[in-house]
Amino acid sequence: MPTLMEARVARARKIPYKETRLASAASDFYLLEALANIEGVAKAKPKLAALESKLAKEFSDYLDIAIGGELRYAQSMLGDAVPNELAPYFKEVQTYCGDRGTAWLIWGVIRRKLGSRALELAELTFEQPGWRSSFGGYPWAGITRVLRSYLEGRINDRIFVDRCWSLQHNSGCALNKLYTVHDLAEVLEAHGNDNYPILVRNASAEVRSIWETHRRQKRRAIWLDHDPAWLGICAWEPELAPTGTWL
């Protein structure tokens, strides 16, 4: 549960974390991708494009503030090894007791002042030796690198979103600073194993309907493309499967 300050920063950045159930969004993403790119369902293509664009914007804004929040531990662990260019950030964080929500707010000011250079400095800072295992370090350097790759145009919306689902920090999913990550791990494992029933179960009603409609049409086409004598059904009952159940 985010603090009051964290919620205020999230609202200011227009991050709709309350409306985004990650397990459902990931299921929609991978089902629409399969429908659009493997099954060739025309209806799925614009929906996939809209979803990946929305999530890419949302996740890039979220990762940006999350990186700024984690960076607040750097000076206490690395001492003089932190970049001089980030001195105003560390000074303000220390002045306001270093809570995460305040660090998010201060980081936004630094990002507006330094632009992409702030993320570059954050990545270099996370790569420094001296971080304790529970904070910062290489996991956050990797998270920052993915965000920079996206913001600098080296990866597109779809690849960025795909990577975001599985990003991990020191103690879990990188998206868990604001979002509820319940069932997300199950969905990602199901995607890796092509376990579509689990994806369908977690998907939104709209995407689930598109998937089920396509599946029924595909199964019906299989029966209609064969001589009923081979399938054991009557020619005048194309929708009746050999088991006697409707497709």
Alpha-carbon gap, residue 214 to 162, rounded angstroms: 24
Contact assessment for residue 30 and residue 77, using Cβ atoms and an 8 Å cutoff: no
pLDDT tens sequence across 48-60 = 999 999 999 999 9
Alpha-carbon gap, residue 210 to 205, rounded angstroms: 9
The confidence score (pLDDT) of residue 226 equals 53
The confidence score (pLDDT) of residue 234 equals 45
Alpha-carbon gap, residue 152 to 171, rounded angstroms: 28
The confidence score (pLDDT) of residue 219 equals 82
Alpha-carbon gap, residue 76 to 56, rounded angstroms: 32
The confidence score (pLDDT) of residue 50 equals 98
Angle between helices 44-70 and 100-114 (to 10 degrees): 100
Give the residue among 190, 154, 219 at the shortest CA–CA distance from 29: 190
Average pLDDT, the chain: 90
pLDDT tens sequence across 131-148 = 988 999 999 999 999 999
* DSSP-based three-state secondary structure for 178: coil
The confidence score (pLDDT) of residue 133 equals 85
Alpha-carbon gap, residue 105 to 5, rounded angstroms: 8
Tell me which residues of the chain have a pLDDT lower than 50: 230, 233-247
The confidence score (pLDDT) of residue 241 equals 44
